[in-house]
Amino acid sequence: MMKIYFMGIGGSAMGNAALLARAAGHDVIGSDAGVYPPMSTVLAEAGISVHEGYDAERLAQLAPDLVVIGNAMSRGHVEVEWLLETRALEFTSLPAFLSGFVLKGRRNVVIAGTHGKTTTTALTAHLLRSQGRDPGYLIGGVPLDPPTGNHLGTTTDPFVIEGDEYDSAFFDKRSKFIHYAPHVAVLNNLEFDHADIFRDLADVQRTFRHFTRIVPRNGWIVMNGDDANLAALGEMPWTRVIRVGTGENNNVRITNFEESTQGARFELTWKGEHWAQVVWPHAGIYNARNAAMAATAAQLSLLPDSENSEEGFARVITTESDAAKVDLSAFAKFRGVKRRQEVHVATPKLTVIEDFAHHPTALREILRSLRAQYPQHRIHAAFEPRSNTSRTSIMQDGFMNALALADEVYIGAISRADTMEPNERFDIEGTIEFLKTKDVQGHTAPTHDALLATLREQSVASEEPQLVVFFTNGSFGGIIADYVAGCG
């Protein structure tokens, strides 16, 4: 047993990793500038001591065997500088810790992609659990199914982990997923994002190409076959590739897709042969793709050695093979992930939804789906430019065209605007002018509270049913909870 110290334990990834370490029997402690419920409660219940703030002398006195440094930490941090100056304690990044302490020796399913990682990771773990297996998993968000964001599982069962392309630590600029030793690598999609660490699309493609290089020859790559940016990665002859999507070139195809406010139904086929009919409470073709990716990955991870081939996979899913076939009826019971199309209010006159989306493609796909689900509603889209990319002008055109799919748009104050030059910032006024050309009314305000007042006024101004959707990867200044509370 080791004493392991997590620097920045309050983050969801660090906190969940700390819980995995505790479940493995290690003595776990940590520190952060503020740990709040629910993470603070969960850590305390697990017997993990959390220290408020950072202190080099305290760290020296605690004398852990290993320090895990979160990627929010950088040079100048008091504990980081002490570690570098004294070299008194061994330290590592979170992804490297997971590689050595959690993933080693496991059959790992690593879910990567610009969009849908959290949902697809939760779906894959949910399917494996529904088979009576005990998979390990580490999920970046807060899932409703499985019931927790982390679980060590049984070492003989797969481990499912969200594979982020963001960098590992201030001293390790490789993408996190490079550490995760995939047996099954899922490539959901690929777009330019994280402009603070990647130069351009080619730079993102480069790190994904590196990721595919570590899939073993007896492993699998499950790839979105409809994604041109993934296709540009080229052939991968060192392993097996299964393509998933709606196009005819895919091995696993999504066909006969239909959606409504009750969810969606679609069929999965393998090279034209029926695999499964899926009926579940989640709308959107993007969610259907997440489900198809999860189904394929879960089944591949459970293939016995005697069936570990493309032909074996086909036998298992399309015939009465003796091998374990994943029962996809479990999709119907999947409740989703918090802040992913999470419905806060649902009445005949008003629906309120919150989503974590902060990339123009995600906004576009969600608004298209909402238009199909709620054809009689007037759609109000509130967007907070908060992420390191969305608060800049880099994807300006994409955001403008995506937001134009709503009827009314509300743009919040730009996060940390004072850290950028004016010409580098998201152009709020330019977006509102563009929306006018599309007959969409745009609104903004200097504060979130002022924007909330405008939203309240506009969203009750008509007799037709209204749908309000909030897009943010943060709290939007608390106005989501305030708006929902005012609906009561």
pLDDT single digits (tens) 281-333: 988 898 999 999 999 999 999 998 888 899 999 999 988 776 788 999 999 99
* Percent of the chain with pLDDT strictly greater than 90: 73
Which residue type is seen at 154?
A: T
- The DSSP code for 249 is T
Residue whose C-alpha is closest to residue 31's, from 70, 2, 1: 70
The residue written with tokens 């006969």 in the block is 256
Nearest alpha-carbon partner for 196 in 227, 171, 165: 165
The answer to whether the CB of 242 falls within 8 A of the CB of 219 is: no
The pLDDT tens digits for 32-52 are 997 777 778 889 999 999 999
Query: What percentage of the chain carries pLDDT values higher than 70?
Result: 99
Gap between the Cα atoms of 226 and 224, Å rounded? 5
Over residues 460-479, the mean pLDDT reads: 87
Residue 473 has pLDDT above 90, yes or no: no
Reported as a single tens digit per residue, the pLDDT across 260-277 is 888 899 999 999 999 999
Please tell me the predicted confidence (pLDDT) of residue 196.
82
Q: What is the pLDDT of residue 475?
A: 83
Does position 429 have pLDDT exceeding 90, yes or no? yes
Residues 6+ apart with CB under 8 A from 99: 179, 180, 181
Rg (CA), the chain: 23
Instruction: Assess whether the previous peptide bond of 375 is cis (omega < 30° from 0).
Output: no
Domains of the chain (ranges; CATH) run 3-95 (3.40.50.720), 105-333 (3.40.1190.10), 342-486 (3.90.190.20)
pLDDT surpasses 70 at 488? no
pLDDT-based confidence at residue 343 (cuts at 50, 70, 90): confident
Average pLDDT over residues 372-379: 92
- C-alpha distances out from residue 50 to 35, 39, 71, 97, 169, Å: 8, 11, 18, 19, 21
| Torsion sign over Cα 224, 227, 228, 233 | negative
Strands 350-355 and 466-471, bridge-based pairing: parallel
User: Could you tell me the pLDDT band of residue 236, with boundaries at 50, 70 and 90?
Assistant: very high
Predicted model pTM:
0.86
Contact 160, 135 (CB under 8 A): yes
> Cα 223 from chain centroid?
17
pLDDT digits (tens, 9 = 90+) for 181-232: 999 999 999 988 887 888 999 999 999 999 999 999 999 999 999 999 999 9
31 sits in the region (left: phi over 0; alpha: psi -120 to 50; else beta) called beta
pLDDT at 112 over 90: yes
CA distance 126 to 132: 10
Smallest CA-to-CA distance from 365 within 163, 114, 162 is with: 114
